[in-house]
């Protein structure tokens, strides 16, 4: 018994010496700044910065090859922290941006042309006549964006639409590139009034296929302050630099303009979607 204990203790001692020496000889030099920056970064490895992961970005920032605010997910607070580590000053960037799906045409509002029973994925569905929705700009509701979101910030509503939860969205823009319809737009986090439509079709066609689509009547353009809403081939687009007052929503004959927190997302529906997963 005693011999065994002594023998093992001796072995352990020997091995620890070996390890201690090896750690000295084969030590990998890590910039302590890079280490500190990596700790400051969110650590989601989402790839939003365009690099393979957080440690790679930390290395680049420490070497001065990337900007201190290169992480779009961390935003201002992380940039400030990194600025402290790097000994630089940070003046603060623009407002925090979040993703928004520019479509409100759910299964009740938008017409479907056919029954799609292929792969449950928007990109796959879009390969066949652009998807089952009659509107070629509409959200297909199969959740490709929700699947790719590293932060679980996108809920698939039971009514067949994707909705971004602005509290959880970090603005990494992964969903923007994943949407085959290209209808996800980055908007300032605080903005509440949105034109939830991406259709460039003419008004007559929109009326036939969607009850909440923009028909390009331009009433909102006249109601809103100068330059706050611009027309882009039959579609009213909000200029988020100025933003638009909530009253503008009242003039929209189609109900395309929604004020968040006032019927943009049915609370019960969102809870149901969140509860399911």
Q: Interface with another protein by CB under 8 A: which residues? A: 113-114, 117-119, 121, 123-124, 127-130, 136, 147-148, 177
Smallest distance, Å, CB 196 to another protein? Answer: 23
CB 249 within 8 Å of CB 193 = yes
Q: Between residues 17 and 129, which has the closer beta carbon with respect to another protein?
A: 129
105 vs 75: CA distance, rounded Å: 31
Q: Between residues 72 and 75, which has the closer beta carbon with respect to another protein?
A: 72
225 vs 230: CA distance, rounded Å: 11
In three-state secondary structure terms, 81 is helix
Compute and round to an integer the Cα radius of gyration of the chain. 26
Length of the chain: 277
119 vs 182: CA distance, rounded Å: 20
Q: Between residues 148 and 217, which has the closer beta carbon with respect to another protein?
A: 148
Q: Between residues 22 and 128, which has the closer beta carbon with respect to another protein?
A: 128
Smallest distance, Å, CB 168 to another protein? Answer: 21
206 vs 203: CA distance, rounded Å: 5
Query: 208: how many CB neighbours lie within 10 A of its CB?
Result: 13
Q: Which residue has the tokens 């509701």?
A: 141
Q: Between residues 148 and 189, which has the closer beta carbon with respect to another protein?
A: 148
Smallest distance, Å, CB 86 to another protein? Answer: 30
Smallest distance, Å, CB 274 to another protein? Answer: 24
Q: What is the DSSP letter of 3?
A: H
Smallest distance, Å, CB 118 to another protein? Answer: 5
Q: Between residues 122 and 196, which has the closer beta carbon with respect to another protein?
A: 122
Q: Between residues 54 and 135, which has the closer beta carbon with respect to another protein?
A: 135
Per-position DSSP letters for 118-183, written without gaps between them: S-SSHHHHHTTTT-SBSSTTS---S-HHHHH-TT--EEEETTTEEEE-TTT-----HHHHH-TT--
Helices (DSSP H) in the chain: which residue ranges? 2-25, 32-40, 54-63, 75-86, 122-126, 144-148, 174-178, 203-209, 219-223, 248-251, 267-276
Smallest distance, Å, CB 136 to another protein? Answer: 7
Smallest distance, Å, CB 180 to another protein? Answer: 8
């Amino acid at each position: 018994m005693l011999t065994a204990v002594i023998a093992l203790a001796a072995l352990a001692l020997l091995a620890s010496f070996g390890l201690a020496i090896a750690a000295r000889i084969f030590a990998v030099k890590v910039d302590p700044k890079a280490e500190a920056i990596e700790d400051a970064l969110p650590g989601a490895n989402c790839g939003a910065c365009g690099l393979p992961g957080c440690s790679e970005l930390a290395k680049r920032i420490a070497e001065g090859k990337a900007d201190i605010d290169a992480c779009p997910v961390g935003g201002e607070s992380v940039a400030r922290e990194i600025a402290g580590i790097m000994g630089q000053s940070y003046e603060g960037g623009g407002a925090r941006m979040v993703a928004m799906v520019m479509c409100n045409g759910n299964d009740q509002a938008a017409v479907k042309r056919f029954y799609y029973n292929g792969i449950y994925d928007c990109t796959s569905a879009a390969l066949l006549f652009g998807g089952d929705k009659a509107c070629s700009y509409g959200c297909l509701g199969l959740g490709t964006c929700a699947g790719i979101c590293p932060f679980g910030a996108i809920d698939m509503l039971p009514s067949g639409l994707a909705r971004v939860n602005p509290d959880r969205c970090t603005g990494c823009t992964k969903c923007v590139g994943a949407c085959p319809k290209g209808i996800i737009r980055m908007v300032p986090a605080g903005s509440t009034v949105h034109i939830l439509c991406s259709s460039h079709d003419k008004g007559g066609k929109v009326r036939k296929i969607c009850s909440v689509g923009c028909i390009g009547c331009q009433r909102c353009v006249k109601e809103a302050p100068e330059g706050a809403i611009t027309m882009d081939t039959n579609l009213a687009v909000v200029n988020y630099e100025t933003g638009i007052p909530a009253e503008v929503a009242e003039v929209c004959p189609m109900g395309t303009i929604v004020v968040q927190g006032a019927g943009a997302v049915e609370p019960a529906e969102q809870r149901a979607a969140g509860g399911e997963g």
